[in-house]
Amino acid sequence: MDKNTLLERLGRQQIETPSWGFSASGTRFGTFPQPWSATTLEEKLADAGEAQRYTGILPRVALHIPWDKPTGALKDWQAVAACARQHGLGIGAINPNVFQDPDYQYGSFCHPDPRVRRKALDHHLECVEIAKAAGSDGLSLWFADGTNYPGQDDFRARRQRMLACFQELYRALPPQLRLYIEYKFYEPAWYHTDLGDWGAAALLCRKLGPQATVLVDTGHHPLGTNIEWIVASLLDEGLLGGFHFNSRKYGDDDLTVGSINPYELFLIYNELAAAEEEGQATAAGRCAARVAYMFDQCHAYKNTIEATIQSAMTVQEAYAKALLVDRAALQRARQACDVTGAEEVLKDAYHSDVRPLLRELRTSQGRDPEPLKAFRASGYSERAVAQRSRRPVARAGAAG
Protein backbone atom coordinates (compact mmCIF):
# COMPACT_ATOMS: atom_id res chain seq x y z
CA MET A 1 0.00 0.00 0.00
CA ASP A 2 1.43 3.38 -0.99
CA LYS A 3 1.93 6.05 1.65
CA ASN A 4 -0.83 8.37 0.44
CA THR A 5 -3.40 5.57 0.52
CA LEU A 6 -2.18 4.58 3.97
CA LEU A 7 -2.54 8.13 5.30
CA GLU A 8 -5.95 8.47 3.71
CA ARG A 9 -7.25 5.30 5.39
CA LEU A 10 -5.77 6.29 8.72
CA GLY A 11 -7.41 9.67 8.37
CA ARG A 12 -10.84 8.00 8.20
CA GLN A 13 -10.41 6.09 11.47
CA GLN A 14 -12.96 6.97 14.15
CA ILE A 15 -13.69 5.76 17.69
CA GLU A 16 -16.55 6.74 20.00
CA THR A 17 -15.73 7.73 23.55
CA PRO A 18 -18.07 6.78 26.42
CA SER A 19 -19.48 9.62 28.51
CA TRP A 20 -19.01 7.48 31.64
CA GLY A 21 -15.32 7.14 30.82
CA PHE A 22 -14.82 10.75 31.92
CA SER A 23 -16.44 10.25 35.34
CA ALA A 24 -14.88 9.02 38.57
CA SER A 25 -14.13 5.31 38.51
CA GLY A 26 -12.72 2.60 40.72
CA THR A 27 -13.69 -1.02 41.21
CA ARG A 28 -16.91 -2.92 41.74
CA PHE A 29 -16.39 -2.29 45.46
CA GLY A 30 -16.18 1.47 45.39
CA THR A 31 -15.51 4.67 43.50
CA PHE A 32 -12.30 6.54 44.22
CA PRO A 33 -12.12 10.34 44.43
CA GLN A 34 -10.62 11.75 41.23
CA PRO A 35 -10.46 15.53 41.33
CA TRP A 36 -10.26 15.90 37.55
CA SER A 37 -13.32 13.75 36.81
CA ALA A 38 -16.49 15.10 35.21
CA THR A 39 -19.61 15.24 37.36
CA THR A 40 -22.14 16.69 34.90
CA LEU A 41 -23.00 15.93 31.29
CA GLU A 42 -21.64 19.33 30.26
CA GLU A 43 -18.29 18.45 31.83
CA LYS A 44 -18.27 15.01 30.18
CA LEU A 45 -18.86 16.59 26.78
CA ALA A 46 -16.17 19.20 27.43
CA ASP A 47 -13.66 16.49 28.37
CA ALA A 48 -14.60 14.36 25.37
CA GLY A 49 -14.09 17.43 23.20
CA GLU A 50 -10.57 17.85 24.57
CA ALA A 51 -9.72 14.24 23.73
CA GLN A 52 -11.02 14.81 20.20
CA ARG A 53 -9.12 18.09 19.88
CA TYR A 54 -5.78 16.37 20.39
CA THR A 55 -6.39 13.10 18.53
CA GLY A 56 -8.85 13.84 15.74
CA ILE A 57 -10.31 10.32 15.78
CA LEU A 58 -12.83 10.66 18.62
CA PRO A 59 -15.66 12.69 17.05
CA ARG A 60 -18.62 11.14 18.86
CA VAL A 61 -19.52 10.46 22.48
CA ALA A 62 -21.81 7.62 23.57
CA LEU A 63 -24.41 8.41 26.23
CA HIS A 64 -25.82 6.24 29.02
CA ILE A 65 -29.43 6.53 30.14
CA PRO A 66 -30.47 7.54 32.77
CA TRP A 67 -26.98 8.72 33.84
CA ASP A 68 -26.87 11.29 31.03
CA LYS A 69 -30.40 12.63 31.00
CA PRO A 70 -30.53 16.41 30.47
CA THR A 71 -30.45 18.56 33.57
CA GLY A 72 -29.83 22.22 34.34
CA ALA A 73 -28.83 24.27 31.32
CA LEU A 74 -29.18 21.23 29.09
CA LYS A 75 -32.97 21.22 29.22
CA ASP A 76 -33.62 18.73 26.40
CA TRP A 77 -31.87 16.45 23.90
CA GLN A 78 -31.58 19.17 21.29
CA ALA A 79 -29.64 21.20 23.85
CA VAL A 80 -27.41 18.19 24.55
CA ALA A 81 -26.68 17.77 20.85
CA ALA A 82 -25.95 21.50 20.54
CA CYS A 83 -23.58 21.36 23.51
CA ALA A 84 -21.79 18.41 21.90
CA ARG A 85 -21.40 20.36 18.67
CA GLN A 86 -19.85 23.27 20.57
CA HIS A 87 -17.11 20.86 21.63
CA GLY A 88 -16.63 19.47 18.12
CA LEU A 89 -18.63 16.31 18.80
CA GLY A 90 -21.67 14.37 17.69
CA ILE A 91 -23.79 12.03 19.78
CA GLY A 92 -22.87 8.37 19.45
CA ALA A 93 -24.66 5.24 20.60
CA ILE A 94 -27.35 5.47 23.28
CA ASN A 95 -26.87 2.89 26.05
CA PRO A 96 -29.99 1.86 28.02
CA ASN A 97 -29.53 0.76 31.64
CA VAL A 98 -31.41 -2.33 32.84
CA PHE A 99 -28.93 -3.59 35.40
CA GLN A 100 -29.09 -1.22 38.37
CA ASP A 101 -32.77 -0.86 39.27
CA PRO A 102 -33.82 -3.31 42.05
CA ASP A 103 -36.63 -4.54 39.78
CA TYR A 104 -33.99 -6.13 37.57
CA GLN A 105 -32.53 -8.41 40.25
CA TYR A 106 -33.87 -11.46 38.39
CA GLY A 107 -33.56 -10.07 34.89
CA SER A 108 -35.06 -7.45 32.60
CA PHE A 109 -36.16 -8.75 29.18
CA CYS A 110 -35.95 -12.28 30.61
CA HIS A 111 -37.68 -11.63 33.94
CA PRO A 112 -40.58 -13.99 34.81
CA ASP A 113 -42.77 -11.02 35.78
CA PRO A 114 -44.40 -9.33 32.74
CA ARG A 115 -44.51 -6.03 34.66
CA VAL A 116 -40.71 -5.96 34.88
CA ARG A 117 -40.31 -6.94 31.24
CA ARG A 118 -42.68 -4.14 30.27
CA LYS A 119 -40.69 -1.65 32.35
CA ALA A 120 -37.43 -2.71 30.68
CA LEU A 121 -38.97 -2.59 27.22
CA ASP A 122 -40.47 0.84 27.80
CA HIS A 123 -37.04 2.09 28.85
CA HIS A 124 -35.58 0.82 25.57
CA LEU A 125 -38.39 2.42 23.59
CA GLU A 126 -37.66 5.66 25.43
CA CYS A 127 -34.03 5.32 24.31
CA VAL A 128 -35.17 4.96 20.70
CA GLU A 129 -36.87 8.35 21.03
CA ILE A 130 -33.78 9.80 22.72
CA ALA A 131 -31.60 8.54 19.88
CA LYS A 132 -33.85 10.23 17.32
CA ALA A 133 -33.91 13.50 19.26
CA ALA A 134 -30.15 13.57 19.92
CA GLY A 135 -29.07 12.55 16.41
CA SER A 136 -27.75 9.10 17.33
CA ASP A 137 -27.81 6.21 14.88
CA GLY A 138 -27.45 3.31 17.31
CA LEU A 139 -28.52 1.65 20.55
CA SER A 140 -25.78 -0.25 22.37
CA LEU A 141 -27.45 -2.97 24.46
CA TRP A 142 -26.01 -5.01 27.32
CA PHE A 143 -28.09 -7.22 29.59
CA ALA A 144 -27.11 -8.53 33.00
CA ASP A 145 -29.88 -11.14 32.69
CA GLY A 146 -29.00 -14.61 33.88
CA THR A 147 -29.37 -17.02 36.78
CA ASN A 148 -27.16 -17.85 39.74
CA TYR A 149 -28.30 -21.40 40.59
CA PRO A 150 -29.44 -24.54 38.74
CA GLY A 151 -33.21 -24.71 38.45
CA GLN A 152 -33.69 -21.03 39.20
CA ASP A 153 -35.56 -20.46 35.93
CA ASP A 154 -36.36 -22.12 32.61
CA PHE A 155 -33.62 -21.47 30.03
CA ARG A 156 -35.93 -21.72 27.01
CA ALA A 157 -38.68 -19.65 28.59
CA ARG A 158 -36.17 -16.89 29.34
CA ARG A 159 -34.92 -17.01 25.76
CA GLN A 160 -38.48 -16.71 24.43
CA ARG A 161 -39.25 -13.78 26.73
CA MET A 162 -36.12 -11.97 25.55
CA LEU A 163 -36.96 -12.56 21.90
CA ALA A 164 -40.51 -11.25 22.35
CA CYS A 165 -39.21 -8.03 23.93
CA PHE A 166 -36.58 -7.60 21.22
CA GLN A 167 -39.14 -8.11 18.48
CA GLU A 168 -41.30 -5.29 19.85
CA LEU A 169 -38.23 -3.07 20.17
CA TYR A 170 -37.11 -3.89 16.64
CA ARG A 171 -40.51 -2.94 15.20
CA ALA A 172 -40.12 0.52 16.77
CA LEU A 173 -36.75 1.26 15.12
CA PRO A 174 -36.52 3.98 12.49
CA PRO A 175 -34.57 2.86 9.40
CA GLN A 176 -31.32 4.61 10.36
CA LEU A 177 -31.10 3.17 13.88
CA ARG A 178 -29.03 0.02 14.46
CA LEU A 179 -28.95 -2.29 17.45
CA TYR A 180 -25.53 -3.29 18.78
CA ILE A 181 -26.24 -6.38 20.90
CA GLU A 182 -23.48 -7.14 23.39
CA TYR A 183 -22.78 -10.49 25.03
CA LYS A 184 -20.94 -11.42 28.18
CA PHE A 185 -19.63 -14.77 29.34
CA TYR A 186 -20.39 -14.25 33.02
CA GLU A 187 -21.10 -11.65 35.71
CA PRO A 188 -23.21 -10.58 37.46
CA ALA A 189 -25.03 -13.88 36.87
CA TRP A 190 -22.79 -16.79 37.80
CA TYR A 191 -24.63 -19.95 36.69
CA HIS A 192 -25.68 -18.83 33.24
CA THR A 193 -25.99 -15.61 31.26
CA ASP A 194 -28.86 -15.22 28.80
CA LEU A 195 -26.59 -13.60 26.19
CA GLY A 196 -23.43 -15.42 27.16
CA ASP A 197 -21.48 -15.58 23.91
CA TRP A 198 -21.29 -14.35 20.35
CA GLY A 199 -23.37 -17.27 19.06
CA ALA A 200 -26.33 -16.40 21.28
CA ALA A 201 -26.15 -12.78 20.14
CA ALA A 202 -25.81 -13.78 16.49
CA LEU A 203 -28.83 -16.11 16.64
CA LEU A 204 -30.89 -13.30 18.13
CA CYS A 205 -29.78 -10.90 15.39
CA ARG A 206 -30.71 -13.42 12.71
CA LYS A 207 -34.23 -13.65 14.14
CA LEU A 208 -34.64 -9.88 14.26
CA GLY A 209 -33.32 -8.53 10.96
CA PRO A 210 -30.52 -6.52 9.34
CA GLN A 211 -30.64 -3.60 11.79
CA ALA A 212 -29.60 -5.97 14.60
CA THR A 213 -25.87 -6.62 14.88
CA VAL A 214 -23.41 -8.14 17.34
CA LEU A 215 -21.17 -5.96 19.51
CA VAL A 216 -17.86 -7.47 20.63
CA ASP A 217 -16.53 -6.22 23.96
CA THR A 218 -12.91 -7.37 24.08
CA GLY A 219 -13.12 -7.95 27.84
CA HIS A 220 -16.19 -10.20 27.76
CA HIS A 221 -14.58 -13.56 27.06
CA PRO A 222 -13.10 -16.51 28.94
CA LEU A 223 -9.32 -16.52 29.25
CA GLY A 224 -7.65 -17.77 26.09
CA THR A 225 -10.56 -16.99 23.77
CA ASN A 226 -9.52 -16.33 20.18
CA ILE A 227 -11.32 -13.01 19.74
CA GLU A 228 -9.88 -12.39 16.28
CA TRP A 229 -11.52 -15.63 15.07
CA ILE A 230 -14.86 -14.44 16.47
CA VAL A 231 -14.37 -11.13 14.64
CA ALA A 232 -13.59 -12.95 11.38
CA SER A 233 -16.64 -15.21 11.77
CA LEU A 234 -19.00 -12.32 12.43
CA LEU A 235 -17.56 -10.39 9.48
CA ASP A 236 -18.10 -13.41 7.25
CA GLU A 237 -21.73 -13.60 8.38
CA GLY A 238 -22.24 -9.86 7.95
CA LEU A 239 -23.24 -9.58 11.62
CA LEU A 240 -20.39 -7.62 13.19
CA GLY A 241 -21.85 -4.31 14.32
CA GLY A 242 -19.25 -2.81 16.61
CA PHE A 243 -16.68 -3.01 19.37
CA HIS A 244 -16.26 -1.97 22.93
CA PHE A 245 -12.49 -1.81 23.10
CA ASN A 246 -10.74 -2.37 26.42
CA SER A 247 -8.23 -4.79 27.95
CA ARG A 248 -8.49 -7.47 30.59
CA LYS A 249 -6.10 -9.72 32.44
CA TYR A 250 -8.57 -12.06 34.15
CA GLY A 251 -12.19 -10.99 33.71
CA ASP A 252 -14.13 -7.94 32.62
CA ASP A 253 -11.44 -5.61 33.93
CA ASP A 254 -12.18 -2.73 31.51
CA LEU A 255 -8.54 -1.62 31.47
CA THR A 256 -7.35 0.77 28.77
CA VAL A 257 -7.17 -0.89 25.38
CA GLY A 258 -3.84 -2.47 24.49
CA SER A 259 -2.48 -2.18 28.03
CA ILE A 260 -2.34 -5.97 28.53
CA ASN A 261 -2.11 -7.67 25.14
CA PRO A 262 -1.40 -5.23 22.29
CA TYR A 263 -0.62 -8.11 19.89
CA GLU A 264 -4.19 -9.37 20.27
CA LEU A 265 -5.49 -5.91 19.37
CA PHE A 266 -3.29 -5.94 16.26
CA LEU A 267 -4.60 -9.37 15.25
CA ILE A 268 -8.18 -8.13 15.63
CA TYR A 269 -7.42 -5.14 13.43
CA ASN A 270 -5.69 -7.44 10.96
CA GLU A 271 -9.00 -9.21 10.35
CA LEU A 272 -10.83 -5.91 10.03
CA ALA A 273 -8.28 -4.41 7.65
CA ALA A 274 -8.31 -7.52 5.46
CA ALA A 275 -12.09 -7.38 5.19
CA GLU A 276 -12.02 -3.64 4.44
CA GLU A 277 -9.76 -4.30 1.47
CA GLU A 278 -12.34 -6.67 -0.02
CA GLY A 279 -14.71 -3.72 -0.33
CA GLN A 280 -18.28 -4.23 -1.52
CA ALA A 281 -17.39 -7.48 -3.28
CA THR A 282 -17.93 -9.63 -0.19
CA ALA A 283 -20.29 -9.73 2.79
CA ALA A 284 -17.27 -9.28 5.06
CA GLY A 285 -16.14 -6.21 3.16
CA ARG A 286 -19.58 -4.63 3.25
CA CYS A 287 -19.86 -5.41 6.95
CA ALA A 288 -16.42 -3.99 7.76
CA ALA A 289 -17.36 -0.66 6.20
CA ARG A 290 -20.15 -0.21 8.79
CA VAL A 291 -18.46 -1.37 11.99
CA ALA A 292 -18.81 1.10 14.87
CA TYR A 293 -15.78 1.42 17.15
CA MET A 294 -16.19 2.47 20.77
CA PHE A 295 -14.22 2.47 24.01
CA ASP A 296 -15.74 1.04 27.18
CA GLN A 297 -13.09 1.49 29.82
CA CYS A 298 -12.68 2.07 33.53
CA HIS A 299 -9.82 4.53 33.82
CA ALA A 300 -8.99 3.58 37.40
CA TYR A 301 -5.95 5.47 38.70
CA LYS A 302 -5.47 7.29 35.37
CA ASN A 303 -6.43 10.81 34.42
CA THR A 304 -9.57 10.17 32.38
CA ILE A 305 -8.71 12.39 29.41
CA GLU A 306 -5.11 11.20 29.33
CA ALA A 307 -6.29 7.58 29.36
CA THR A 308 -8.69 8.29 26.49
CA ILE A 309 -5.97 9.97 24.43
CA GLN A 310 -3.60 7.12 25.22
CA SER A 311 -6.24 4.62 24.04
CA ALA A 312 -6.82 6.57 20.84
CA MET A 313 -3.11 6.52 20.06
CA THR A 314 -3.00 2.78 20.76
CA VAL A 315 -5.79 1.91 18.33
CA GLN A 316 -4.25 4.21 15.72
CA GLU A 317 -1.02 2.27 15.98
CA ALA A 318 -2.78 -1.11 15.86
CA TYR A 319 -4.73 -0.13 12.77
CA ALA A 320 -1.69 1.35 11.04
CA LYS A 321 0.26 -1.86 11.61
CA ALA A 322 -2.64 -3.94 10.30
CA LEU A 323 -2.68 -1.82 7.13
CA LEU A 324 1.01 -2.59 6.63
CA VAL A 325 0.47 -6.36 6.43
CA ASP A 326 1.74 -7.64 3.08
CA ARG A 327 -1.46 -9.39 1.99
CA ALA A 328 0.08 -10.92 -1.13
CA ALA A 329 3.01 -12.39 0.81
CA LEU A 330 0.64 -13.64 3.48
CA GLN A 331 -1.54 -15.35 0.89
CA ARG A 332 1.48 -17.00 -0.77
CA ALA A 333 2.67 -18.37 2.57
CA ARG A 334 -0.79 -19.67 3.37
CA GLN A 335 -1.16 -21.37 0.01
CA ALA A 336 2.21 -23.04 0.50
CA CYS A 337 1.28 -24.09 4.06
CA ASP A 338 4.33 -22.12 5.18
CA VAL A 339 3.25 -21.65 8.78
CA THR A 340 6.41 -19.88 9.90
CA GLY A 341 6.47 -17.62 6.87
CA ALA A 342 2.84 -16.57 7.37
CA GLU A 343 3.46 -15.70 10.98
CA GLU A 344 6.56 -13.72 10.07
CA VAL A 345 4.54 -11.60 7.64
CA LEU A 346 2.26 -10.60 10.51
CA LYS A 347 5.16 -10.05 12.90
CA ASP A 348 6.96 -7.84 10.38
CA ALA A 349 3.94 -5.54 10.28
CA TYR A 350 3.42 -5.68 14.05
CA HIS A 351 7.00 -4.70 14.80
CA SER A 352 6.92 -1.73 12.41
CA ASP A 353 7.36 1.62 14.10
CA VAL A 354 4.31 3.50 12.82
CA ARG A 355 4.67 6.44 15.19
CA PRO A 356 6.47 8.68 12.66
CA LEU A 357 3.69 8.02 10.15
CA LEU A 358 1.02 8.96 12.69
CA ARG A 359 2.93 12.09 13.67
CA GLU A 360 2.94 13.04 9.99
CA LEU A 361 -0.81 12.40 9.77
CA ARG A 362 -1.55 14.61 12.78
CA THR A 363 0.68 17.39 11.50
CA SER A 364 -1.11 17.31 8.13
CA GLN A 365 -4.40 17.73 10.04
CA GLY A 366 -3.10 20.75 11.91
CA ARG A 367 -2.80 18.85 15.20
CA ASP A 368 0.12 18.45 17.52
CA PRO A 369 2.06 15.33 16.48
CA GLU A 370 2.28 14.20 20.12
CA PRO A 371 -1.30 14.31 21.48
CA LEU A 372 -0.65 13.09 25.00
CA LYS A 373 2.32 15.37 25.57
CA ALA A 374 0.41 18.31 24.11
CA PHE A 375 -2.60 17.71 26.33
CA ARG A 376 -0.45 17.38 29.42
CA ALA A 377 1.19 20.70 28.60
CA SER A 378 -2.14 22.45 28.00
CA GLY A 379 -3.06 22.90 31.66
CA TYR A 380 -6.62 21.69 31.05
CA SER A 381 -6.50 19.06 33.81
CA GLU A 382 -5.15 21.52 36.33
CA ARG A 383 -7.95 23.96 35.51
CA ALA A 384 -10.52 21.17 35.75
CA VAL A 385 -9.20 20.10 39.15
CA ALA A 386 -9.43 23.66 40.42
CA GLN A 387 -13.04 23.91 39.25
CA ARG A 388 -14.26 20.43 40.20
CA SER A 389 -12.31 19.30 43.26
CA ARG A 390 -14.92 20.47 45.77
CA ARG A 391 -17.87 18.87 44.01
CA PRO A 392 -19.37 15.55 45.13
CA VAL A 393 -17.99 12.44 43.41
CA ALA A 394 -20.38 10.99 40.81
CA ARG A 395 -20.68 7.24 40.54
CA ALA A 396 -19.49 6.21 37.07
CA GLY A 397 -21.08 2.78 37.04
CA ALA A 398 -20.23 0.16 34.45
CA ALA A 399 -21.75 0.03 31.02
CA GLY A 400 -21.25 -3.66 30.49
Residue 101 has pLDDT above 90, yes or no: yes
A 10 A CB-CB count for 222 gives 9
CB within 8 Å of 390: residues ≥ 6 apart: none
CB 34 within 8 A of CB 64: no
Residue 26 has pLDDT above 90, yes or no: no
**Cα of 228 vs its chain's centroid, Å:** 16
CB 158 within 8 A of CB 144: no
357 half-sphere exposure, CB direction, 13 A CA radius: 21
Give the per-residue pLDDT at 392.
Answer: 55
Give the per-residue pLDDT at 313.
Answer: 98
Residue 322 has pLDDT above 60, yes or no: yes
| Cα diameter, the chain | 65
Give the per-residue pLDDT at 396.
Answer: 45
Exposed / middle / buried, residue 187 (Cβ in 10 Å: 0-12, 13-18, 19+): middle
Across the chain, where does the E strand assignment appear? 16-18, 26-27, 30-31, 60-65, 90-96, 138-141, 146-147, 178-182, 192-193, 212-217, 240-245, 292-295
Give the per-residue pLDDT at 156.
Answer: 98
Query: What average pLDDT does range 372-379 have in this prediction?
Result: 98
C-alpha to C-alpha distance for 6 and 1, rounded to whole angstroms: 6
Query: What average pLDDT does range 152-162 have in this prediction?
Result: 98
**pLDDT class of 178 with cuts at 50, 70, 90:** very high
Collapsed DSSP state (helix, strand, coil) of residue 65: strand
Residue 190 has pLDDT above 90, yes or no: yes
The pairing of strands 90-96 and 178-182 is: unpaired
Give the per-residue pLDDT at 61.
Answer: 98
Residue 30 has pLDDT above 90, yes or no: no
Give the per-residue pLDDT at 32.
Answer: 79
**pLDDT class of 279 with cuts at 50, 70, 90:** very high
CB within 8 Å of 238: residues ≥ 6 apart: 283, 284, 286, 287
C-alpha to C-alpha distance for 55 and 317, rounded to whole angstroms: 12
Residue 10 has pLDDT above 80, yes or no: yes
Give the per-residue pLDDT at 314.
Answer: 98
Residue 176 has pLDDT above 60, yes or no: yes
Mean pLDDT score of the chain, rounded to an integer? 95
A 10 A CB-CB count for 315 gives 22
Give the per-residue pLDDT at 24.
Answer: 85
Asked if residue 371 has a cis previous peptide bond (ω within 30° of 0), the answer is no
**pLDDT class of 395 with cuts at 50, 70, 90:** very low
The pairing of strands 90-96 and 30-31 is: unpaired
Q: Where are the domains of the chain?
A: 9-323
Collapsed DSSP state (helix, strand, coil) of residue 241: strand
Query: What average pLDDT does range 280-298 have in this prediction?
Result: 96
**Whole-model pTM?**
0.95
Domain 9-323 class, CATH top level:
alpha beta
Give the per-residue pLDDT at 133.
Answer: 97
End-to-end CA distance of the chain: 37
Residue 29 has pLDDT above 80, yes or no: no
